[in-house]
């Protein structure tokens, strides 16, 4: 025991001293920054992708697509998801690790868009290019690009679909609806909601559409963390408080997970199913639409978004400028971020087969 111990110790001490000596050479370098952006980088560079927790199919799919897409393009992908409970802290640590590993581009699907500025700055200083994926990172000058579906458009489409759906079911108003919005820490939630309200508000003002509970403020309608149980709980209480006698005609739901939770709640209460909107084209929701339960979803083809992002990375690698189509709308509080926006598509039972024709997972469901 003793001799083993002594040896271990001696080895340990030697190691420490050796390391100390080795560390005399330091890695001091001037703060990099984007000066060398135009020059591109090696073809097999490390590309970091930091995504939120695996709470929706979409993020899992995006992760897989990034891995395969980046690999195909010759890069070394490093795709990481935040943990389920410690999302923000995890993502901060993951971005730092990517910087340490020398990632040239870091693609971030933020968990909390406002709490990453320190890490983004760190990435920037190390010379990495930062792309905000799907969610705009706020209050920082250090992000380079934003790529997403046009989320205001998404909201508008949802609002319109809600009206169309209710009209189809019950030709004459006034219609009673309820509003749901996404997680308040997600920058997009407000964008969706504002988009939808831009369509719904005129109808509400006209009295054609009534919000049964009167809860129209985004703070009242928000579901923390996009959690299904939160939506179900809120819908349960709405049904108890407002709809014990009447029924609700439509529910604006910002995404599919919440939409299904809302439907579950309504079914549980034994009420007729309202028109419920959605987003993300999740498998269960597409099934639900085909079964005539959920009314609509949005097809934001993750494949396209990832493919465009990978294209962006490729362009940057070659030292060129990536394609952008909006240099005005997305101000993150510190600067206007050059953006590339993809158009979303509304999907109902009618156009499902057509919309998902190219999707290997979804197209069988529409037949």
Partner 1 sequence: MSRYQELKKNLFGGTTSNARQFGMIFTLVAIVLLFQVLTDGLTLTSGNLIAVVSQYSYILILAVGMLMVIVAGHIDLSVGSVAAFTGIVVAKAMQEHDLPWPAAIVFGLLVGAAIGAWQGFWVAYAGVPAFIVTLAGMLLFRGANQYVGNADTVPVPEGFRKIGAGFLPEVGPDTGYNNPTLLLGVAACVAVVWREWRARQVRQQMDADLTPLWVSGIRLAVMLGVVIFATLRFAGGRVGTSLPISGIILAALVIAYSFYTRNAAGGRHIYAVGGNARAAELSGVKLRRVNFLVMTNMGVLAALAGMIFVARSAASGPQDGLSWELDAIAAVFIGGAAVSGGLGTVSGSIVGGLVMALLNNGLQLEGVGSDRVQMIKGLVLLLAAALDVYNNKQGRFSVIGSIMRPFRRDNGSAPPDAASSPSSEADPADKTDKTDKATATG
**Which stretches of the chain bind partner 1, using CB under 8 A?**
1-2, 5-6, 9, 12-13, 15-17, 19-20, 23-24, 26-31, 53-54, 78-90, 92-94, 96-97, 99-101, 111-118, 122, 125-126, 138-140, 183-185, 219, 222, 224-225, 333
Helix (H, G, I), strand (E, B) or coil at 39: helix
- Taking the least distance from each CB to partner 1, the nearer of 59 and 295 is 59
Tokens, residue 225: 């963390």
Which residue, 86 or 237, is less far from partner 1 as judged by CB? 86
Q: How far is the CB of 98 from partner 1 (least distance, A)?
A: 9
How far is 275 from 237, CA to CA, in rounded Å?
18
**Least separation in angstroms between CB 4 and partner 1:** 9
* Nearest distance, CB of residue 69 and partner 1, angstroms: 17
Q: How far is the CB of 346 from partner 1 (least distance, A)?
A: 28
Q: Return the number of the residue (272 or 333) whose C-beta is nearest partner 1.
A: 333
Residue (224 or 327) nearer to partner 1, CB:
224
Rounded to an integer, what distance in angstroms lies between the CA atom of residue 363 and that of residue 354?
Answer: 9
Rounded distance between C-alpha atoms, residue 84 and residue 24, angstroms: 40
- Residue number, 255 or 288, with CB nearest to partner 1: 255
Burial class from Cβ neighbours inside 10 Å (0-12, 13-18, 19+) for residue 65 reads: buried
- Locate tokens 């458009």: which residue? 153
Nearer to partner 1 (CB atom), residue 43 or residue 141: 141
Of the pair 117, 296, the CB lying nearest partner 1 is at 117
- Give me the least distance between CB of 173 and partner 1, in Å please: 32
CB of residue 158 to partner 1, shortest distance in Å: 21
Distance of CA 185 to the CA centre of its chain: 11
Whole-angstrom distance, CA of residue 189 vs CA of residue 193: 6
H-state helical runs in the chain: 2-22, 57-72, 87-100, 117-125, 151-169, 187-206, 218-221, 228-241, 256-269, 283-290, 302-317, 352-355
Q: What is each CA distance from 251 to 35, 156, 168, 190, 266, in whole angstroms?
A: 49, 14, 15, 17, 11
CB of 187 to partner 1, least distance (A): 9
């Amino acid at each position: 025991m003793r001799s083993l111990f002594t040896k271990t110790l001696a080895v340990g001490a030697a190691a420490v001293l050796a390391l100390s000596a080795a560390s005399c050479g330091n890695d001091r370098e001037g703060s990099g920054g984007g000066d060398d952006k135009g020059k591109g980088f090696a073809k097999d560079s490390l590309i970091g992708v930091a995504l939120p927790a695996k709470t929706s199919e979409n993020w899992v799919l995006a992760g897989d697509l990034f891995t395969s897409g980046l690999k195909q393009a010759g890069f070394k992908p490093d795709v990481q998801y935040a943990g389920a409970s410690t999302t923000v802290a995890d993502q901060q640590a993951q971005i730092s690790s990517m910087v340490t590993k020398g990632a040239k581009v870091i693609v971030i699907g933020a968990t909390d868009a406002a709490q990453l500025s320190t890490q983004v700055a760190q990435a920037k200083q190390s010379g990495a290019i930062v792309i905000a994926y799907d969610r705009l990172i706020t209050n920082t000058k250090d992000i380079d690009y934003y790529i997403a579906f046009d989320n205001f458009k998404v909201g508008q489409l949802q609002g319109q679909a809600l009206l169309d759906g209710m009209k189809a079911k019950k030709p004459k108003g006034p219609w009673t609806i309820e509003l749901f919005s996404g997680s308040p820490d997600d920058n997009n939630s407000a964008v969706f909601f504002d988009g939808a309200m831009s369509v719904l508000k005129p109808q509400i003002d006209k009295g054609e559409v009534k919000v049964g509970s009167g809860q129209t403020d985004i703070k009242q309608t928000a579901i923390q963390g996009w959690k299904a149980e939160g939506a179900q709980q809120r819908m349960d209480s709405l049904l108890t408080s407002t709809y014990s006698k009447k029924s609700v005609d439509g529910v604006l739901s910002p995404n599919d997970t919440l939409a299904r939770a809302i439907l579950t709640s309504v079914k549980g209460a034994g009420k007729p199913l309202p028109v419920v909107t959605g987003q993300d084209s999740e498998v269960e929701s597409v099934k639900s639409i085909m079964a005539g339960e959920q009314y609509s979803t949005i097809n934001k083809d993750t494949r396209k978004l990832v493919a465009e992002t990978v294209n962006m990375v490729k362009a940057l690698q070659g030292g060129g400028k990536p394609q952008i189509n909006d240099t005005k709308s997305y101000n993150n509080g510190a600067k206007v971020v050059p953006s590339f926006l993809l158009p979303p598509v509304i999907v109902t039972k009618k156009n499902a087969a057509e919309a998902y024709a190219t999707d290997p997972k979804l197209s069988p469901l529409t037949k």
